[in-house]
Structure 1
Amino acid sequence: QVLCIDNEDSILIGMQSLLTRWGCRVWTARNREECAALLNEGVRPQLVLVDYHLDEGEVGTDLMRWLRAELGEPVPGVVISADGRPEMIAQVHAAGLEYLPKPVKPAALRAQLSRHVPL
């Protein structure tokens, strides 16, 4: 059960297609409001894949902090970004999250997934 958060619809469509083929149940959201709506529907992801740079200045690490607080558990998360600055990657790791560079290589994504969900 994977939640994908990105502000680009084309990325969400691609991730949903790929992850569904791998047997995952996938939910997508573009922002905190859409995540809140999913949580209100009872969605409880086993893993969250989140873009670093979201709309309106929101960053993936902040959204994950909020999501973990809402769920009341430290759900695993992977921040996906084309921003490969060492300080940004350090911030991701300091938040207890993994990092994958964009464009995402399917093999690297599958390796991350297999650490958190049965494939």
Structure 2
Amino acid sequence: MADEDEFRDWYAQGGGPYLLVLSGMAVLAGILAVSLVQPWGRVFPRWVPLVSGRKVPRRTLFHTAFTVSAFLVLYTAWAAWQLAHEFNDDGIFSPWIVVYGIPQFLVWAIGLFLAAWSYRARTV
């Protein structure tokens, strides 16, 4: 939760692109996780132009998932470090972000890594 007025100022001073990248990472991690466990993670669906019915490049998929997972771990470590060293009471985010925000990225990173590892083992 954030203070509405302080959030507007933070957003106007560059917080918008940060939130866009953060949301994009979450969407990419979600799509990757689902593609690693669904049939369309092995063969492109028919609605995908130019590659419909072709095999999904196995290495590309799991390398991308491992890379995004590693990036999420790095982001989690960076965010935790930022909160530990620079947190103050007049910041825009609630102190509860440590409890509900940071762990979510760690769960995504671990889950994506495990899904990629499983996909790699199943598609040998």
TM > 0.5 fold call: no
Which structure has the higher relative contact order (CA within 8 Å, separation 6+)? Answer: 2
Question: Would you tell me which structure has more helix in proportion to its own residues?
Answer: 2
What is the TM-score with the length of structure 1 in the denominator? 0.28
What is the TM-score with the length of structure 2 in the denominator? 0.27
Structure number with greater Rg is 2
